[in-house]
Structure 1
Amino acid sequence: MDTTAYHQSKKQPSPISKWLGGVAFTFLIALLGYLLAKVPGFDHVGQLACSIIIAVVYRQFAGYPELFRSGIEFSSKKLLRLAIILYGLKLNMNVVFHDGLSLLLRDAVIIIFAIFFTIWLAKLLKADKMISLLLGVGTGICGAAAIAAVAPIVKSKDEDTAIGVGIIALIGTVFSVGYTLLHPIIGLTDIQYGIWSGMSLHELAHVALAAAPAGEDALAIGLLAKLGRVFLLIPVCFIFILIMKRKNKDDEETAKVEFPYFLLGFILLSFLGSYVLGHIIPIPAGTFEVVANVTTWLLTAAMVGLGLNVNLKDLRTKALRPLIAMIITSILVSTIAYFLA
């Protein structure tokens, strides 16, 4: 036996080692993002956006870590779907059905406007269609989670998905901080302010950040308004499936739209969390909080995997116009929601 070849083969990490290394790598950057989010100034940006920034910067200076590609892709695809499934526990369907039907109708207006106006404005600005579509969905529904759910249906590239998520996280944070500054001077009651926040801000975390200073009632109604938008993610995804099938019906290859089975898990956990867990089946106190934290880490690691695909040279040419479209849409969404509150 050739001893040189033997020793070289011994030095090569096994496929499982590469896979574990890739998964660990995404969580390491997620940890760095978590620590960066503790730094004053970055604490308003949040772990998700900080982690994506670190991943993008790493890619520009060190390149894509090809050795760990299998594990990184596992995080960006499989862990992402698991995070979406677990995200379903945040949706209390009982509350939405019983107390939020009027809010649900107003939420539907916001979602329809955000998606269609962003697409229209993107055409006007000649912006990247896919990134603009993802930003419209994220702005209208629930930020990163909505983008992550819709991206595989519309066959978005990982790079475009990461750009969309990064923009949503950053701009949503700016808006939520702006809301807290506007609260004392806009003439809304605390309840109206909570509804305004819930109907117009991008992420659940953004709604919590903006509504909490107005008191518990404002926070509760704000989260309820936001949960209505999260609930509407389900029909929106199925509408996109139908659109994609009809759009590509003449091309058998592109007409194949992978059914998002993770959405079934999302729906299942929503029902379990709303009607079974803690109601019929007792669970330890704090379980939902633990699951929420796990979901955040899984989603962050997944977004790191996506962020490693971003090339800043392309970002300058692809992201600026969709960003402008998204900011204009967000301002108009805030205006419409103000009058609907």
Structure 2
Amino acid sequence: MYTFLSRYPFFGGIGFTFILAAMGILLAELPGFQYIGALATSILLAIVFRQAFGYPTALQPGLQFSTKKLLRVAIILFGLKLNIDVVLNEGLGLLAKGAGTIIVAIVVTMVLSRWLKANWMISMLLAVGTGVCGAAAIAAVSPILKSKEEDTALSVGIIALVGTVFGIAYTIVGPFLPITPEQYGIWSGLSLHEIAHVALAAEPAGEDSLGMALLAKLGRVLLLIPLSFILVFWMRRKHHDDTQAQVNFPWFLIGFIIMSVVGTYVLGEVIPTSDSFLTGVSNITTFLLAMAMSGLGLNVSIASIKSKAMRPLVAMLITSVLLSFMTYLTL
């Protein structure tokens, strides 16, 4: 099959990431793997392939298309999941707390990474992912920060796995905490890494808990937009004397905003029976993201994890624990 795909480098590369993504999504349905999620599973499969068989250089044109172009399309479609109206009308207080989560995550992670002499780029990607919305946030800001594909892949894999551990830990300690289900949901939404992790932690506590958790989390997702523009401004200031390092405007974020508006005020209001459509788009978005993650995972060398990722991982873990305690105290 690989020989056949290599005859058509562009379509073969896309097809290869399609196969890895399909396998990752199927594996994510199995017991145990469902806690990790489709994106992390797809990346892990790609990493295993890279270590066993090497990077499929013959398929590079298609692999790059999946990791760059399809990734941007998926981020744009991800905007449909963000209901701006709900966040602005019902979650302004949570939006402010979400901003606090993002600020603390970035500041603390970067201070710790400097103290630990950790890799700056991976630390920054993990800081953004921890503060906002995990893999999707990392994927959104990686072009702005001009991160290498290997660094992006390592960061996505780390945050997906760590977030899963935290989500499971929340479900264990949640019943013993002296808080209401709604407060538990807010705590989960303000502190956990990805939407999937928030749902994993809050769903066992009931519908009210899950609803508040997702509302708090959506506020953090909304803040990805201003954060991205701040990073664009900062990167341009940082490289103002380096014409080779100029930061291109992330036009795909405009698409993200447009899709958010369409999902909120068109599909949500004008076409109220659009739940099945949105579910279909969500599934497509997940598959495209899984394809992009597969392409990224093929760039990962295990040796790099030991040399580049361990110290950023420690910084992120400390920050995540701190966020859990901090957000709990604000309930």
Shorter-chain TM-score tier: over 0.9
Match of 2:269 in 1: 279
User: Equivalent of 1:260, from 224, 245, 250?
Assistant: 250
Equivalent position amino acid for 1:74 in 2: F
Match of 2:324 in 1: 334
User: Equivalent of 2:101, from 90, 93, 110?
Assistant: 110
Q: Does 2:17 align with 1:26?
A: yes
Q: Secondary structure at the match of 2:128?
A: helix
Distance 1:285 1:136 in 2: 33
Distance 1:53 1:29 in 2: 10
Q: Deviations over 1:280-336 (max 9, x none)?
A: 256654000111111000001001101100111111110111111111100001111
**Residue identity (%):** 56
Match of 1:166 in 2: 157
Q: What is the CA distance between 1:47 and its match in structure 2?
A: 1.3
Mapping of residues 39-50 of structure 1, within 5 Å: 39-50=30-41
User: Equivalent of 1:231, from 222, 241, 251?
Assistant: 222
Q: What is the CA distance between 1:35 and its match in structure 2?
A: 2.4
Q: Does 2:122 align with 1:147?
A: no
Distance 2:23 2:99 in 1: 37
Distance 1:21 1:165 in 2: 24
Match of 1:305 in 2: 295
Taking a change above 3 Å as real, the CA distance of residues 62 and 105 of structure 1, as seen in their structure-2 partners, is same
Q: Deviations over 1:87-134 (max 9, x none)?
A: 000100000110010000000011000011100000011111000000
Q: What is the CA distance between 1:43 and its match in structure 2?
A: 2.2
Q: How many residues align?
A: 329
Unpaired runs of 5+ residues, structure 2, are none
User: Equivalent of 2:51, from 41, 60, 66?
Assistant: 60
Distance 2:104 2:35 in 1: 28
Match of 2:118 in 1: 127
Distance 1:283 1:195 in 2: 28
User: Equivalent of 2:196, from 184, 200, 205?
Assistant: 205
Q: What is the CA distance between 1:66 and its match in structure 2?
A: 1.1
Distance 1:143 1:136 in 2: 9
Q: What is the CA distance between 1:16 and its match in structure 2?
A: 8.8
Q: Secondary structure at the match of 1:151?
A: helix
Match of 1:3 in 2: none
User: Equivalent of 2:207, from 209, 216, 222?
Assistant: 216
Distance 1:273 1:77 in 2: 24
Distance 1:99 1:281 in 2: 21
Q: Name the Cα RMSD after superposition.
A: 1.5
Normalised to the residue count of structure 2, the TM-score between the two structures is 0.96
Q: What is the CA distance between 1:14 and its match in structure 2?
A: 10
Q: Deviations over 1:125-177 (max 9, x none)?
A: 11110000000000000000100111000110000000000001000000000
Q: Secondary structure at the match of 1:152?
A: helix
Higher-Rg member (1/2): 1
Distance 1:36 1:283 in 2: 31
Contact 2:80 2:260 in 1 (8 A): yes
Q: What is the CA distance between 1:249 and its match in structure 2?
A: 1.1
Q: What is the CA distance between 1:36 and its match in structure 2?
A: 2.0
Q: Does 2:185 align with 1:194?
A: yes
Contact 2:82 2:264 in 1 (8 A): yes
Equivalent position amino acid for 1:177 in 2: I
Normalised to the residue count of structure 1, the TM-score between the two structures is 0.94
Unpaired runs of 5+ residues, structure 1, are 1-11
